[in-house]
Chains A and B, each alone.
Chain A
Amino acid sequence: MKDQLRVHDVSVSYYGNPVLVDVSFTFTSGNLIGILGPNGAGKSTLMKAMLSLIPNDKGSVEINGKPIKEVRKQIAYVPQRSNIDWNFPITVKDTVLLGTYPKLGLFHRPKKEHKEWAMQCLEQVGMADFANQQIGELSGGQQQRVFLARALAQQADIFFLDEPFVGIDVSSEEVIIGILKRLRDEGKLVFVVHHDLTKVKQYFDELVLINKNLIAAGPVQEVFTTENMTRAYQRPFSMVEGSEVPL
């Protein structure tokens, strides 16, 4: 069955200042979706509102007609790297093992099979050799791969990644986008907050373009246009084929 995620009329404000206003869109599984917009456009806020991590003033987020709070275990979230305490006393393999916690539930401890599964996920991102290192000893790209492995360990249907490509090396970026595309092909629904405009067409099938309001949502070729981008970023854009970069 295809999962459907519907964001309906969502508004969010911080201390009375509107951050998101009346945002609506719907996507079904088997898609890799980029959430795009200038700095301060509310990209991360949108993702947190979709996950129901922050209260919204109005509107709703539903998965197959159910509120998000009822289907949390179907969802995996990869936070921005800057939100993590990299000095925390935890090894790479124990970090990935955290991904098995949601489905374990209370009072159950990870067993041998869970640890083996965590190692398999670590192998998928090419980080198995680092299993026993402390997470702070890794490079930025390696850290991001470990957190993707943790999301894989959750065996979720819907994935949310907040700025996974910021400050990482080229090979890590290739590994991560490869896995995200594979997840899409397996019929998962993947949302990625993103701000590097150069690779939008290579990476995503669908886009959500926001700047407080929804500018456009849908297939990349329809959304990623000079007109839309100019409206979102409020400055002129040149959308020459192959070099979609701001002027």
Chain B
Amino acid sequence: MIEFIHDLQTYAFLQKAFTTSIMVGVICGVIGSFIVLRGMALMGDAISHAILPGVAISYMLGINYFYGAVLTGVLTAFGIGAITQNSRIKSDSSIGLVFSAFFALGIILINRAKSATDLTQILFGNVLAVRNSDMWLTLAIGGLVLLVVIIFYKELLISSFDETMAAAYGLPTRLIHYAIMFLLTLVTVASLQTVGVILVVSLLITPASTAYLMTNRLSVMVVLSAIFGALSAVIGLYFSFLYNMPSGPVIALVTTALFVLAFLFSPKQGLLVRKLKSANRKRYA
């Protein structure tokens, strides 16, 4: 551990990886809280997979992968919305339908571009290879996402909790839905290097779910989720650096470990705590 801190002070690439990991963990935790509460976990998984063809096309054109990824991410969100609203297909099926098509297209395009090593990195993340431009991109996206969530916190809260009331008093609930999809796409793009497309969902869903088990206030949940996300990302980076493992899977397992702890020991919802309480109640009844 001390060695890691020493290396962190020494190597620029490690500092970049460290900064990026923290930011990715924070914004995934924040956006993930809303994704979890709005029941859009599958949507998060879909968007992250569906940016793959965008990344591939960007590589082919030699432009920053950011542009292509955002484009296909947004297309996916609209495609899913269009199928759900204009046919009898249920939302979870239309999500599966659209994202598998985009993901398949992405894999074929990447194979055509003949960059197999890149594919592994995109799929599973390689936080140690973060470049300067990637870090700044992540910080910019992170700043934007946090700003939007802070400014529109009130509207995000009410439209997530009671969409009908929000619509009844005139909030543009559909616009809010697509705005969240857009932020989700940005967050996914920012997470690409750190966790990879396959496992972005773990950083979106798991820290938020962990936080959900620990509090009865949305604001606290968002902050806790951000902390768990950042913690997982940094621990993931540490193991990835130490044992030369792909960062995505390591981060995903750390988020899961935190979740299991909360699941068992959370003071409000923990399984063991609840069992103990009911045992005590029986004893003194």
Q: A84-B162, A89-B218, A98-B161 are in contact. Are A109 and B168 (CB under 8 A)?
A: no
Partner of B216, one of A69, A73, A79, A91: A91
A77 touches B165 (CB 8 A): yes
Which B206-253 residues have C-beta < 8 A from chain A? 212, 215-218, 220-221
Partner of B158, one of A101, A107, A160: A101
B273 lies within 8 A of chain A by Cβ:
no
A106 touches B170 (CB 8 A): no
B154 touches A69 (CB 8 A): no
Q: Distance (Å) between the CB of B39 and the closest chain A CB?
A: 8
Q: Distance (Å) between the CB of B223 and the closest chain A CB?
A: 12
Partner of A79, one of B88, B151, B155, B164: B164
Contact digits for A69-82, partner B, Cβ 8 Å, 1 yes 0 no: 10011010101000
Q: Distance (Å) between the CB of B166 and the closest chain A CB?
A: 8
Which B153-179 residues have C-beta < 8 A from chain A? 154-155, 157-158, 160-162, 164-165, 167-170
A109 touches B216 (CB 8 A): no
Tell me the complex Cα distance, A47–B218, Å: 30
B169 touches A88 (CB 8 A): no
B217 touches A94 (CB 8 A): yes
A51 touches B168 (CB 8 A): yes
A107 touches B151 (CB 8 A): yes
Chain B residues close to A by CB (< 8 Å): 37, 88, 151-152, 154-155, 157-158, 160-162, 164-165, 167-170, 212, 215-218, 220-221
- Given pairs A90-B217, A104-B154, A134-B216, 17 additional interface contacts (CB within 8 A): A51-B168, A53-B164, A53-B168, A72-B170, A83-B164, A84-B161, A84-B162, A88-B218, A89-B37, A89-B216, A90-B161, A95-B161, A98-B157, A98-B162, A98-B165, A101-B169, A109-B154
Chain A residues close to B by CB (< 8 Å): 15, 51, 53, 69, 72-73, 75, 77, 79, 83-85, 88-91, 94-95, 98, 101-102, 104, 106-107, 109, 133-134, 154, 160
CB-based closest 5 A-B pairs: A102-B169, A134-B216, A72-B170, A77-B168, A79-B164
